[in-house]
Amino acid sequence: MSGLTVTALVCPDCGSQLAGLRYDRVFFCDSCRHGLAPDPEKQWVRYPLAVAKPESPPSARIIYLPFWQVNIEAFAQCVNKQQEVASRRLAELTSVWATGFIVNRGSYFGDLGLFYTEKAVAPAEAEALPYGAVIAGCARTPEDAQKYVRLYVTLILDKRADVTGMDLNIITYDARLWAIPFADYGDKIMDLITLHEFPAFSLDDLEGVRKLNTR
């Protein structure tokens, strides 16, 4: 017999059904406003959900997709003057962002996590998700998001100087879970924080997110 465990997608706090899709690893309770990840020992790990407010809502339908924001402190030991100049950028990098959802061919269509990190995005926070909105599609855990921290910091510094030989020391803190608004135009979606557009087919399981938001 295998050690297969079945977990009911029911909020342990309020009993509501959790929203999620087939590949999700974090599920959402709209009533309690948090994400929940199943854990073998604790049963559920809770992540409070922050909701970003679009600055200028479009006429298109808005859907919300999950992001992780990891707070950091970064230090560098440099081997030349160019690296020392580039490393001044570290003082401005207080957090790294990573998408909770999967973008197919992200290197071609653009990496929103890297964009958010470079721009030091600090969204205005809404009180709650709009009535009827459902967030889903979180296929990455906080541990997955942590894997992007060194990569993104290195890529940002490498745009200013060759980082070969540089010793980076990065301290990470708790990851915060965000619901970020996107305008859904049918054949494409647009991030309402950076205004970056993606073709609809590039987002994994976008149709599943749409179906949850039309119930």
What string of pLDDT tens digits covers the 215 residues of the chain? 455 566 788 999 999 999 999 899 999 998 899 999 988 777 899 999 999 998 777 888 999 999 999 999 999 999 999 999 999 999 999 999 999 999 887 778 889 999 999 999 999 999 888 888 999 999 999 999 999 999 999 999 999 999 999 999 999 988 999 999 999 999 999 999 999 999 999 988 899 999 998 86
Spatial separation of the C-alpha atoms in residues 24 and 201, rounded to whole Å: 18
- pLDDT value, residue 190: 94
Cα 97 off chain centre by:
6
Spatial separation of the C-alpha atoms in residues 165 and 92, rounded to whole Å: 22
Handedness of CA 92, 26, 43, 32 (dihedral sign): positive
Nearest CA-CA partner of 177 in 125, 119, 100: 100
- pLDDT value, residue 215: 67
Residue 88 Cα distances to 39, 74, 91, 113, angstroms: 39, 10, 6, 21
Look up residue 194 and give its two tokens: 């950076």
- pLDDT value, residue 3: 57
- pLDDT value, residue 67: 97
Spatial separation of the C-alpha atoms in residues 130 and 54, rounded to whole Å: 12
Look up residue 53 and give its two tokens: 């407010």
Spatial separation of the C-alpha atoms in residues 175 and 52, rounded to whole Å: 16
pTM confidence score: 0.91
